[in-house]
């Protein structure tokens, strides 16, 4: 694993006096959806504004979006980011190599090790010398967890062999957000040379007021994530088919995999009468806190997360969580902020929901206080800004080693 304390500090500080370092990030869609990579980049750009300028290459439309796309003719400002929406083709953004060559940058950031839209085309272009070979940081975003690797395993193993043979990531920094994820990367990509740990940057918002309850209210459960197999919505629905407690289950998030969503819809139609499930569509980032505050439980039996921004979103508003043990958020039951359970035991998920439904109001309030407290403590103990800055600076200092391409 790479140590990020590096003499490149001196070189960067001299340059920073004249102009910020430009980071070109290809992350997919950085709009108003509540996705983890969006939250990560917004937090990063906001915290390091002035030192680093973040320019983003994005898909022209969101997952599942229909109708007219965003016009990708010029750069636009979105908070701390400059964004260029790209028209997508089968082999990545249209004119990708020209875009990368015509937009000078000091560091390239990629999102998703197996991403076929931006990461794989960028690495191939870089390897072929068709784009500037700038220092590159690639965030796998939990893709090397055991549960995530099990999805389309044969295809992923084939790509790993090809990437190794072609040397696609020989001089690329793999960005883990926890020691746990770093271990997963080492296990799944043993030949990776550069692994650096820098936590995700988040800020804590105000605590919204929880929605009032009535005596006859159903237990209110929410799922917030993109809809694909990694997030395991079908598992959540199967769990709800086992419970005795009357519940309302609201699903928020874009449909990333339409075939998978069709399977989930069929499972929803088979739910018992006391379980009401509905898809509420995508949700703007700004509306996430007030929306989540209206529920009693956040349910996300994910196959793997390197951080879990939606989990933090729930804890931030004092919403207890019921999640898998495939995230960094562990030991939740001891803390009193929720439950992190093994996916091999769906009956335990179901019995936990039934127990929650039977709790007294004072006991539920205690869960909410513990959830908010966990979010506060996690940020107080985080050195995310310092470690991320050090990661970028150390990557920048390798410019002479990598070459200009």
**pLDDT at res. 213:** 66
Torsion 160-166-168-172 (CA) sign: positive
The answer to whether residues 46 and 176 belong to one domain is: yes
Q: Does residue 35 sit in the same domain as residue 174?
A: yes
Q: Which is it for the CA torsion 336, 340, 345, 346, positive or negative?
A: positive
Domain contains 208: no
**Do the domain assignments include residue 207?**
no
For residue 1, tell me if it sits in a domain.
Answer: no
User: What is the predicted pLDDT for the residue at 68?
Assistant: 53
Q: Is the dihedral of CA 229, 231, 233, 238 positive or negative?
A: positive
Q: Is 71 exposed, middle or buried (0-12, 13-18, 19+ CB in 10 A)?
A: exposed
343 and 269 within one domain: yes
Please give the backbone phi and psi of residue 281, each rounded to the nearest 5 degrees, phi first.
Answer: 80, -170
The answer on 300 and 159 residing in a single domain is no
Q: How many CB atoms lie within 10 A of CB 201?
A: 23
**CATH assignment of the domain containing 24:** 3.40.50.2000
37 and 165, same domain (yes or no): yes
> Which class for 74: exposed (0-12), middle (13-18), buried (19 or more C-beta within 10 A)?
exposed
- Residue 254 near residue 33 (C-beta atoms within 8 A): yes
CA triple 14-16-20, angle to 5 deg:
155
27 plus 136 within the same structural domain: yes
Q: CA-to-CA distance for 51 and 45, rounded, in angstroms?
A: 9
388 half-sphere exposure, CB direction, 13 A CA radius: 24
Q: What is the pLDDT of residue 205?
A: 81
Say how far apart CA 22 and CA 30 lie, in whole Å: 18
- 3 state SS for the chain: CCCCCCCHHHHHHHHHCCCCEEEEEEEECCCCECCHHHHHHHHHHHHCECCEEEEEEEECCCCCCCCCCCCCCCCEEECCEEEEEECEECCEECCHHHHHHHCCCCEEEEECCCCCCCHHHHHHHHHCCCCCCCCEEEECCCCCCHHHHHCCHHHHHHHHHHHHHHCCCCCEEEEECCHHHHHHHHHHCCCCCEEEECCCCCCCCCCCCCCCCCCCCCEEEEEECCECHHHCHHHHHHHHCCCCCCEEEEEECCECCHHHHHHHHHHHHCCCCCEEEEEEECCEHHHHHHHHCCCCEEEECCCCCCCCHHHHHHHHCCCCEEEECCCCCCCHHHHCCEEEECCCCHHHHHHHHHHHHCCCHHHHHHHHHHHHHHHHHHHHCCCHHHHHHHHHHHHHCCHHHHCCC
Q: Long-range contacts for 329-336 (Cβ within 8 Å, ≥24 apart)?
A: 332/374, 335/370, 335/374, 336/366, 336/367, 336/370
User: CA-based Rg of the chain, rounded to a whole angstrom?
Assistant: 22
Please give the Cα distance from 182 to 175 (Å, whole number).
Answer: 8
Output the pLDDT for position 92: 87
Residue (of 232, 242, 295) closest to 264 by Cα position: 232
Number of domains forming the structure of the chain:
2
Tell me what pLDDT residue 70 has. Answer: 58
Q: Is residue 147 part of a domain?
A: yes
Same domain for 167 and 35?
Answer: yes
Question: Looking at the structure, do residues 193 and 224 belong to the same domain, yes or no?
Answer: no
Give pLDDT, residue 2: 43
Does residue 97 belong to any structural domain of this protein?
yes
pTM for the structure as a whole: 0.79
Distance CA 86, CA 58 (A): 6
Asked whether residue 21 falls in the same domain as residue 163, the answer is: yes
Indicate whether 209 belongs to any domain.
no
User: Is the domain of 298 the same as that of 258?
Assistant: yes
Largest interatomic CA distance in the chain: 67
Q: Does 212 reside within a domain? A: no
Query: Range of 89's domain?
Result: 8-201+383-402
Q: Which pLDDT tens digits describe the chain residue by residue (405 residues)? A: 444 433 333 344 444 455 789 999 988 765 555 566 677 788 888 889 889 999 999 887 665 555 455 555 678 888 888 989 888 888 888 899 999 999 999 999 999 999 999 999 999 999 999 998 999 999 998 899 888 899 899 999 999 999 999 999 999 999 998 898 999 999 999 888 889 999 888 878 888 877 676 656 799 999 999 899 999 999 999 999 999 999 999 999 988 899 999 999 999 999 999 999 999 998 888 889 999 999 999 999 999 888 888 999 999 999 999 999 999 998 899 999 999 999 999 999 999 999 999 999 999 999 999 999 999 999 888 888 899 999 999 988 875 443 333
Angle value at C-alpha 224, between 315 and 81, nearest 5 degrees: 85
Burial of 75 (C-beta count, 10 Å sphere; 0-12/13-18/19+): middle
**Residue 60 maps to a domain:** yes
CA 380 – CA 186 distance, rounded (Å): 28
Beta 92-93 vs 88-89: how paired, if at all? antiparallel
Q: Verify that 46 and 122 share a domain, yes or no.
A: yes
113 and 136 in a single domain? The answer is yes
């Amino acid at each position: 694993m790479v140590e990020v304390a590096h003499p490149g500090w001196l070189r960067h500080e001299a340059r920073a006096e004249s102009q910020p370092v430009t980071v070109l990030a290809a992350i997919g869609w950085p709009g108003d959806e509540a996705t983890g990579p969006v939250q990560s980049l917004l937090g990063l750009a906001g915290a390091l504004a002035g030192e680093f300028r973040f320019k983003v290459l994005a898909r022209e439309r969101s997952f599942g979006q229909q109708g007219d796309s965003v016009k990708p003719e010029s750069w636009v400002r979105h908070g701390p980011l400059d964004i260029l929406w790209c028209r997508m083709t089968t082999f990545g953004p249209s004119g990708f190599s020209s875009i990368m060559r015509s937009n000078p940058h000091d560091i390239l950031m990629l999102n998703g090790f197996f991403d076929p839209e931006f990461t794989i085309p960028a690495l191939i272009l870089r390897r072929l010398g068709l784009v500037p070979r700038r220092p590159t940081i690639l965030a796998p975003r939990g893709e090397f967890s055991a549960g995530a690797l099990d999805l389309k395993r044969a295809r992923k193993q084939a790509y790993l062999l090809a990437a190794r043979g072609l040397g696609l990531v020989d001089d690329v920094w793999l960005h883990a957000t926890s020691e746990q994820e770093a271990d997963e990367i080492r296990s799944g990509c043993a030949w990776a040379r550069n692994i650096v740990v820098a936590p995700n940057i988040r800020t804590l918002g105000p605590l919204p007021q929880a929605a009032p309850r009535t005596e006859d209210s159903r237990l209110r459960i929410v799922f917030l994530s993109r809809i694909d197999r990694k997030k395991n919505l079908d598992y959540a629905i199967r769990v709800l088919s086992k419970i005795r407690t009357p519940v309302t289950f609201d699903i928020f998030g874009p449909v990333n995999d339409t075939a998978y969503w069709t399977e989930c819809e069929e499972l929803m139609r088979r739910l018992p009468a006391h379980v009401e499930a509905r898809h509420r569509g995508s949700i703007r980032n700004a509306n996430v806190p007030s929306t989540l505050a209206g529920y009693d439980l956040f349910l996300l039996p994910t196959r793997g997360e390197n951080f879990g921004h939606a989990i933090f979103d729930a804890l931030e508003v004092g919403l207890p969580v019921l999640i898998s043990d495939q995230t960094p958020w562990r030991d939740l039951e001891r803390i009193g902020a929720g439950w992190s359970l093994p996916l091999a035991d769906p009956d335990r998920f179901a019995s936990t929901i039934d127990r929650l439904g039977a709790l007294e109001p004072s006991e539920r309030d205690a869960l909410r206080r513990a959830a908010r407290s966990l979010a506060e403590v996690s940020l107080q103990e985080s050195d995310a800004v310092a470690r991320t800055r050090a990661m970028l600076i150390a990557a920048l200092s390798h410019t002479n080693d990598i070459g200009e391409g």
